[in-house]
Amino acid sequence: MRTIRLTAALGVFIAFGFATSVLGADWDANAFKEAETIDLRTIGAEEGEYWFPVWVVVIDDQVFVRLGSRAAERIRANQTGAEIAIRVNDRLFDKVQTQDAADYVDRVADAMAEKYWSDIFVRYFSHPMTLRLSAS
């Protein structure tokens, strides 16, 4: 009986420790450099929580995404304003601020072309929104 309680207590400790490390992850732009994609979460008035993948680049130790029309509309309609959530690898950042990065559009496009070979095609699609992401 004592072994069962100890095992259960250890399981709770491990589960709690894992959740804390993932949910309370420290923001580090380097974590985004190697990621192929990250997932953004918006909250829509009708659909609620919605996750979608996007490409990501790091420039000057800052994290940027370039969004197509549908993703940009999700950001504009987000019920939590400029605050979204991000998943990168095994980390969850629950409170991330989005900032318009119109001044980085060309640099982000160049970085996307360098990082993603298929950008040779994707760059010709409309990308009405470029965002800088930062921890709240």
Give pLDDT tens digits for 61-111: 999 999 999 999 999 999 999 999 999 988 999 999 999 999 999 999 999
Residue ranges of the domains in the chain? 26-135
For residue 104, count CB atoms less than 10 angstroms from its CB and return exposed for 0-12, middle for 13-18, buried for 19 or more. buried
State the amino acid at position 127 in one-letter form.
H
> Which pTM does this prediction carry?
0.79
Q: Mean pLDDT over residues 34-58, rounded?
A: 96
Q: What is the spatial distance between Cα 111 and Cα 62, in angstroms, rounded to a whole number?
A: 12
CATH 3.90.870.20 applies to domain 26-135: no
Give pLDDT tens digits for 118-133: 877 777 677 899 999 9
Greater model confidence, 120 or 56: 56
